């Protein structure tokens, strides 16, 4: 999951030609640098590159790993990247802050299935917490405060009839969360795959599937660019990533194989974990739902103009 975004964009200049078409490679292909987190969610872009789907669109794609949404947004706004990947809340926040971001394609979506999603809230096996309602007033870890994690966890609690106002959210990186749960630092953890599977292997028990609870078919993250990027390049990149999404969604075995090339997830975990969905279409209604929840939670200050973010 992506982290939040910077309050102000960096003013550093990117490489020569990086703000427009991205420069031209040998053979006339456009050189494109995409800022992408090395997580399960971004398997389609890696698979699409390996399958030649970007070459087909005359794009010479470089995938640059970034730490999270902050690096993705600031890197794109400053011209280091032509395209990047960030979660829905991070992009809504960036737009509210006046940053030049616009969505070009879906990134990753919830399966919408209770018990079979790639995001969950888990507790220790012997915890008295039996359902999302019981999370009220508890200490819960999220990978970043005031982002898509705490917003969707609150949605789970409300849906179960609980009051989320007393929850204490604690910022913990996903890799550190399972151990923090086991040693009693927190009452519950919110994590995504492969950390859901890792925590369950250590005996943790899921009590909420927060992405599935928040909205049907939730669009969790998206690929984006700025208004400076050449419209023809945007069209071709969108075509390539959309084909990559469709391919990944219908070839889960190949997704599990490509994960071995750019993540450090153990092969046995890759074989068993729940994969997300990768529809080519952004679920605008779910983006509006997340925007409304973020406004209610005080993460956003004004009602989001989703149409200006997703043309």
Domains of the chain by residue range: 30-110+217-300, 119-214
Q: What is the pLDDT of residue 152?
A: 98
Q: What is the pLDDT of residue 153?
A: 98
Q: What is the pLDDT of residue 16?
A: 30
119-214: CATH class: alpha beta
Compute the distance between CA of residue 172 and CA of residue 188 in angstroms, rounded to an integer: 12
Q: What is the CATH number of domain 30-110+217-300?
A: 3.40.190.10
Q: What is the pLDDT of residue 70?
A: 86
> And the tokens for 200?
């369950």
pLDDT under 70 in the chain at which residues?
1-27
Dihedral of the alpha carbons of 18, 20, 24, 28, in degrees to the nearest 10: 160
The sign of the torsion formed by the CA atoms of 252, 254, 255, 257 equals positive
Same fold, 30-110+217-300 and 119-214: yes
pTM of the model: 0.91
């Amino acid at each position: 999951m992506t982290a939040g975004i910077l309050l102000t964009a960096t003013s550093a200049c990117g490489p020569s030609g990086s703000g427009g078409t991205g420069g031209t490679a040998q053979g006339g292909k456009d050189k494109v640098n995409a800022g992408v987190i090395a997580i399960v969610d971004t398997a389609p872009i890696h698979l699409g590159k390996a399958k030649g789907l970007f070459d087909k669109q005359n794009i010479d794609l470089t995938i640059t790993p970034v730490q999270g949404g902050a690096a993705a947004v600031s890197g794109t706004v400053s011209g280091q990247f032509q395209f990047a990947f960030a979660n829905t809340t991070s992009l809504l926040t960036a737009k509210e802050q006046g940053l030049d971001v616009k969505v070009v394609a879906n990134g990753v979506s919830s399966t919408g299935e209770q018990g079979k999603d790639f995001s969950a809230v888990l507790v220790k096996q012997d915890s008295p917490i039996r359902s999302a309602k019981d999370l009220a007033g508890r200490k819960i870890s999220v990978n970043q405060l005031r982002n898509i994690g705490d917003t969707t966890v609150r949605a789970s609690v409300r849906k179960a009839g609980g009051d989320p106002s007393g929850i204490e959210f604690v910022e913990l990186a996903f890799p550190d969360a399972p151990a923090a749960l086991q040693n009693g630092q927190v009452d519950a953890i919110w994590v995504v795959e492969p950390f859901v599977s890792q925590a369950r292997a250590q005996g943790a028990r899921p009590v909420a599937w927060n992405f599935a609870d928040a909205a049907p078919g939730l669009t969790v993250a998206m690929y984006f660019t700025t208004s400076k990027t050449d419209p023809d390049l945007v069209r071709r990149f969108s075509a390539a990533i959309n084909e990559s999404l469709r391919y990944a969604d219908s070839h889960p075995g190949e997704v599990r194989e490509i994960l071995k090339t750019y993540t450090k997830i153990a092969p046995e975990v890759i074989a068993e974990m729940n994969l997300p969905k990768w529809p080519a279409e952004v679920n605008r209604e779910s983006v509006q739902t997340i925007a409304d929840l973020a406004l209610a939670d005080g993460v956003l200050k004004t009602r989001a103009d989703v149409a200006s973010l997703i043309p």
